[in-house]
Amino acid sequence: MVVAPLIVGLLLLAALMHASWNAILKSDSSDRLATFGVIMTTGTVMGVCVAPFVPMIEPAAWKFLIASVLIHVAYYTCLLKAYSYGDLSHTYPIARGLGPLLVALVSGQFIGEHLRVQDIVGVLLLSFGLVALAMPLRNVVPKPGSRHGLATLFAVLTGFTIAGYIIADGLGVRSAGPTIEHRISYIAWLCILEGPWLLVLAIYLRPATVWTHLARSWHRGVMGGVIANLGYGIAIYALVLGPMAHVAALRETSVLFGALMGTLLLGEPFGRRRVAAAAVIVAGLILMNGPQLL
């Protein structure tokens, strides 16, 4: 089963949106935790505005919803750590590329979605590209405070959490109910339950500086929050319409958007080898989500 062209287009839009909010978060060097908190709080407000107008999700979906929230907490922790130690163009492709790889590896056993031959080839291409992308560039002086090994470690851990929440949300939205409104309700309640907790944590840890930061940069987080939650809402809905590994793989073409934003907008080094590695990753992702070839 291959997703329809309309869903492909929506997932490409979701990929661009995901890379955009990650670039917004990474570019904030003053208080990244507070900005992340505003991003999440914006999602909560969006969910609260939607929830009263859609039916409640089916009881069977709640266990997946709660699991997704817990996995997302681990995801945010690992993501912030990865960004604190390394460049966006290094950590982002590893984290986003590893997620669909792991989903593809377990989809047959745990979800009942079995891989085609070309899917296996796509996974191998993606894995090779990840290894090449993760290796440090030669003749590049690391930025002060950067630690390549820790950045790679937390990027890999982020990839595991991505695979976890993709599976949890895929199963959750499929069991949320029979109508489109039930699926939108699942997305809304996910935004609500994730809540403003990161913002509360930032205020608790740095009460003397967070309010000044928010007064100066609140619009950055709000803009990132609208982009992030709309993009992930599109991705969750697509999980109903196609195999999880394929949907996840297509969404993670965001690795190119993220790498290019890190290089072109944030001034991070990329290099020819990383360009080639990114192309190999995308080739693997496209092969996994393409029509039957092999």
Query: pLDDT, tens digit, for every residue of 80-132?
Result: 888 788 876 678 778 877 888 888 888 777 777 777 888 778 888 887 887 77
Mean pLDDT, rounded, for 135-149: 60
How far, in Å, are 78, 89, 117, 238 from residue 251 at the CA level? 20, 17, 21, 10
Q: Which of 85-94, 191-200, 250-259, 270-279 has the highest mean pLDDT?
A: 191-200
Does some domain include residue 10? Answer: no
Does some domain include residue 284? Answer: yes
Does some domain include residue 213? Answer: no
Report the alpha-carbon distance of residue 6 to residue 126 in Å, rounded: 24
Q: How does the average pLDDT of the chain come out, rounded? A: 83
The pLDDT score that the predictor gives to residue 138 is 57
Domain count, the chain: 1
The encoded tokens of residue 263 equal 């290089």
Does some domain include residue 214? Answer: no
Check pLDDT > 60 for residue 146: no
Does some domain include residue 83? Answer: yes
pLDDT in tens, 213-241: 888 888 889 999 999 999 999 999 888 88
Domain of 151? 21-29+58-136+145-196+233-289
Write down how long the chain is: 294
The pLDDT score that the predictor gives to residue 143 is 55
CB atoms within 10 A of CB 52: 7
Does some domain include residue 265? Answer: yes
The pLDDT score that the predictor gives to residue 70 is 95
Does some domain include residue 259? Answer: yes
Q: Which residues contact 160 (CB under 8 A, 6 or more apart)?
A: 98, 102
Does some domain include residue 211? Answer: no
